[in-house]
Structure 1
Amino acid sequence: MSLNGDALRESYTAVDGDDSEAAPLLPNGSGRTRAKGASFASSVFNLMNAIMGSGILGLAYAMANTGIVGFSLLLALVSVLATYSIHLLLKLCDETGINTYEDLGRRALQKPGKYLVAVTIIVQNIGAMSSYLFILKSELPAAIETFMGPNQTGAWYEDGRLLLILITVAVVLPLSLLTKIGFLGYTSSLAFFFMLYFTVVIVVKKWAIPCPLPHNATTLIEASQVSNSSDSECTPKLFVISSESVYAIPTMAFSFLCHTAILPIYCELERPSKTRMQNVTNVSLGLSVLIYFISALFGYLTFYDKVNSELLQGYAYLQRDIMVMVVRLAILLSVLLTVPLIQFPARKALILMFFEGRPFSWFIHIVTTLGILGVVLTMAIFVPDIRNVFGVVGSTTSSSLMFIFPSIFYLKIISQSFRTFESIAAILLMIFGITMGIVSMSFIIYVSVQGY
């Protein structure tokens, strides 16, 4: 999941503390002038930009623990359900004229519904920021060592936690304290192209890394991941069921979440109509599925069951490779500048919950910023594996925003009878979201406890 400039503007407006309903889409003949909207292609790009994010780094690990066919089936299932839940949101928007997720929550469940959605978005964004900072923690030492040379063993910059604290204080915090950071929305667009380049590198470098890895690779990758490698472990598996399989669907849910950006993109679409926006959604999700599948497949076929939960770490074997160096720096740069962008709507929602209606205060602004970054930094430092972020956030807030809330809102606002096809489908989607969340979270807790 990532957040582009459109999503940022939507989140900023949606939690602005105004209890009035959001302005509806301007109907034809309303007498009001509507600015020329975004083209179909531009809307597709904006939505893909909102979809693509750090989740791409965990999909190869999901494939390694579900198998190629198992992963393909789950990926298709999640993408189809995500498309249908977006269909429900678009129908709600057309029916009510509401164009923000939070206000849909208020319309369906009164004021508590608005706060419920706001809290969910806050937790979701905190999880996303944690995943980005985790990438900085794991990749920044290797990136610095690449340029400093291998003879600096024991140097201070090899401590990822120390580097993460320094970078957060020196770069992330000052950018996060800005009251207007719309210019950082452009970095999200750059991040999208970096993900495309990352996918190309994965495909190209599949033939540059041998399997099994040579013995000296243990100096670059953890020994537990490469020890006892054999030719039999270099055979792709079609189906896999293990304790790690439980992370697959939550990771996919985390990766496909774009629902808070759907309605504002719809409002900005040229000649907006539900059918036209649904086509934008279908194209965006289809292309995202293709990119996700290619990156996961070739990442898995490179490392097989030794694939890392954060895929980029595995390419330490090609430490001095120019393409790998460039993609590592590109992702680190996009991650570094995207964290303040994602923090912005989270802070706005937090202020809405506790200080709604108050005039702007630098004290509140600074305290909430420090509080959010403190939680995010603590999670990034002490969470041992990025799969935990994907698993926990994906099974709770992502499943709520993607599956549960659209279904409940539709049933509360529009549905007149639970016997219609649309209502039955919404009920099934809600049941799937709740079941997936409970089962995934239960198994994640069980696996974590067993690990200790």
Structure 2
Amino acid sequence: MAAPPRGAGRLLGERGWYLSAREQQEEEADEDGESAPLLPPPPSGSVRNRPNRGSSFGFSVFNLMNAIMGSGILGLSYAMANTGIMGFSILLLIVASLASYSVFLLLSMCTQTAVTSYEDLGLFAFGSTGKVLVATTIIIQNIGAMSSYLLIVKSELPGAVAGFLSGDESGYSNRSWYLDGRLLLLITSVCIVFPLALLPKIGFLGYTSSLSFFFMVYFALVIMIKKWSIPCPLPLSSAIESLQVSNSTGDCKAKLFHLSKESAYAIPTMAFSFLCHTSVLPIYCELRSPSKSRMQNVTVTGIGLSFLIYFMSALFGYLTFYDKVDSELLQGYSRYLPHDIVIMTVKVAVLFAVLLTVPLIHFPVRKAVLMVFFSHLPVSWICHILVTLTLNTIVVLFAMYVPDIKNVFGVVGSTTSTCLLFVYPGLFYLKLSREDFLSPQKLGACALVIFGICVGLLSLVLIIFSWIDQ
């Protein structure tokens, strides 16, 4: 066999070669796996790479939570309504635990390969096919994420405008152009999202989009407080509805376990909500004194705190509306508290977060598209603009014509989210790890793959059948 090329730790060709220095480092990592660094040490004497530089533990946890928290928080109350409090709690705990475990597998693979991106793990495991597959999955996942954000604009911006105008949203929605959700979505996309996405560098949005995390925490606190502002049974708009509800005794009773055809959306929504795996390695690269155990502690802390915020917002949202909860939680507050000042501030905060986060999510999608489809072409502004325009057009069309945000959570969550969260980390670990197949970690990776495939396919099939039955 030919000797590997020079350059220890560098990935070359489709599968890559490593010098004996890399193999020696792997052996040392096996001996001290929890404290061994994931990446090669910086050059000696480098001032910029001294151990005291980099992100602190707390700031890394914040960055990870900012990557986790997103539009999924608006759909978790609906998931609880269709699984029950206990059923939801068990499923959410399972998904959060498996998300943490799959991150552990990714970090373990980084110890062996020294790569710093999800796509490169696919390259090292399965060659160029693996890299293209991961990149394509990320493209679909992020398009779904952007669509879910713009769906929030379509559904919430008309109510916010009506609230500020002190008018009745229902009375103007059919007459006034400025309360047409699709038109407002198109205007904001053309005037705000598209220009920001066109910028060659968008670093300042990385800081402002961090505000979205605080907006989500604020959202959760408001949901908890406003539980006592909406009476139960809910206020009704017609005598017919009142007669129907008077014959029902379960409207204000929480269910511990519940199963219906809508339950199929639960796990995909949770998978969509906890997906942060494409951000784990970049966050690791900025971590001070990086090691597998330190980054795993960051992950457990970030996912644990996100679990707490998700659970509390879902619980109080469900206990406010019970079985009448909307698939997009804010719609219920728009209906029953249309002019509440606090709810209006939440809407504005969420909309602000959306408009700054969508262009940020767009950047890795465009990079992946250029890598997969246009890597043979030279870099040019024409290609940059056309790809940006095409992606934004696709996202806007999805947001305009998808009737319900739960459909985005369901389809994207059951396909790309389960792949990135469960299937790919398990597959890559099975391929790259030198452990015996019956070792605990490989058995765990195998179980992760099986769980992801089974849950994803089952959820997708049930979602499709629910569409057919409608």
| TM-score of the superposed pair, with normalisation by structure 2 | 0.88
Aligned partner of 1:111 in structure 2 is: 128
1:352-409 deviation per Cα after TM superposition (whole angstroms, max 9, x unaligned)? 1111153321111111111111111111111110000000000000000000000110
Distance apart, 1:441 and its partner CA? 0.6
Spell out the pairing of 1:189-208 with structure 2 (5 A cutoff).
189-208=210-229
Alignment-derived partner of residue 7 in structure 1: none
Name 2:206's counterpart in structure 1. Answer: 185
Q: Which residue of 2 aligns with 1:379?
A: 398
Task: Provide closer, same or farther for how the CA distance between residues 224 and 143 of structure 1 changes in structure 2, counting only shifts above 3 A.
Answer: farther
Which letter does structure 2 place at the counterpart of 1:384? Answer: P
> Shift of residue 170 of structure 1?
1.2
Moved more, 90-99 or 192-201: 90-99
Q: Cα offset for 1:149?
A: 2.3
Letter in 1 for 2:469: Q
- Structure 2 residue runs of 5 or longer lacking an equivalent are 1-12, 23-36
CA shift digits 1:22-51 (9 cap, x unpaired): 999554585363251110001000000100
User: Alignment partner for residue 143 of structure 2, among 126, 137, 143?
Assistant: 126
Shift of 1:421: 1.0
* Structure 1 CA distance for aligned equivalents of residues 220 and 109 of structure 2: 35
The residue type paired with residue 55 of structure 2 is A
Which residue number in structure 1 is paired with residue 321 of structure 2?
Answer: 303
From 431, 442, 450, the counterpart of 2:450:
431
Answer whether contact 1:226 1:306 (CA < 8 A) is retained.
no
Which of 394, 398, 408 pairs up with 2:417?
A: 398
* SS of corresponding position for 2:258: coil
Q: Indicate the SS of the match to 1:31.
A: coil
Q: Which residue of 1 aligns with 2:44?
A: 31
Rounded to whole Å, the distance in 2 between the matches of 1:103 and 1:225 is 59
- Contact 1:21–1:98 (CA under 8 A) maintained in structure 2: no
Match of 2:234 in 1: 213
Paired residues for 1:245-256 under 5 Å:
245-256=263-274
User: Residues 117 and 81 (structure 1 numbering): CA distance in 2 closer, same or farther, change over 3 Å?
Assistant: same
Alpha-carbon distance in structure 2 between the residues aligned to 1:325 and 1:293: 23
Q: Any stretches of 5+ residues in structure 1 without a counterpart?
A: 1-16
Q: 2:372 aligns with which of 329, 332, 353?
A: 353
Distance verdict in 2 for CA 1:20–1:237, change over 3 Å: same
- Is 1:288 paired with 2:272? no
**Secondary structure of 2:232's aligned partner:** coil
Residues 141 and 408 (structure 1 numbering): CA distance in 2 closer, same or farther, change over 3 Å?
same
| Structure 2 counterparts to residues 3-42 of structure 1, below 5 A | 26-28=39-41, 31=44, 33=46, 34-35=49-50, 36-42=53-59
**Alpha carbons of structure 1 residues 227 and 160: separation in structure 2 relative to 1, 3 Å:** farther
Q: Which one of the candidate residues 432, 436, 439 is aligned to 1:413?
A: 432
Following the alignment from structure 1 to structure 2, what is the Cα–Cα distance between the partners of residues 97 and 362?
33
Aligned length: 431
Q: Secondary structure at the match of 1:232?
A: coil
- From 284, 287, 297, the equivalent of 1:266 is 284
Query: CA offsets per residue over residues 260-318 of structure 1, 9 Å max, x none?
Result: 01111112111111111111111101100000000000000000000000001110111
Is contact 2:40–2:114 with CA below 8 Å preserved after alignment? no
Structure 1 partner of 2:3: none
Q: Is the counterpart of residue 96 in structure 1 residue 113 in structure 2?
A: yes
1:182: how far off? 1.1
Q: Report the residue type matching 1:228 in the other structure.
A: V
Q: CA RMSD in A?
A: 2.3
Q: Tell me whether 178-187 or 21-30 shows the greater mean CA deviation.
A: 21-30
- The CA distance in 2 between the partners of 1:387 and 1:398, in whole Å, is 14
Partner of 1:328: 347
Higher fraction of helix: 1
Q: Is the contact made by 2:16 and 2:124 (CA closer than 8 Å) also made in structure 1?
A: no
- The structure that has the greater radius of gyration is 2
Q: CA 1:450–1:71 in 2, change beyond 3 Å: closer, same or farther?
A: same
- From 94, 97, 111, give the equivalent of 1:80: 97
| CA-to-aligned-CA distance 1:151-187 (integer Å, 9 cap, x gap) | 6622112210111111111111111111111111122
Give how far 1:112 is off.
0.8
1:44 aligns with 2:61: yes
> What is the aligned counterpart of 1:370 among 380, 384, 389?
389
Offset at 1:70?
0.1
> Is the contact made by 1:133 and 1:377 (CA closer than 8 Å) also made in structure 2?
yes
Partner of 1:139: 156
Deviation of 1:215 after TM superposition, in Å, equals: 2.1
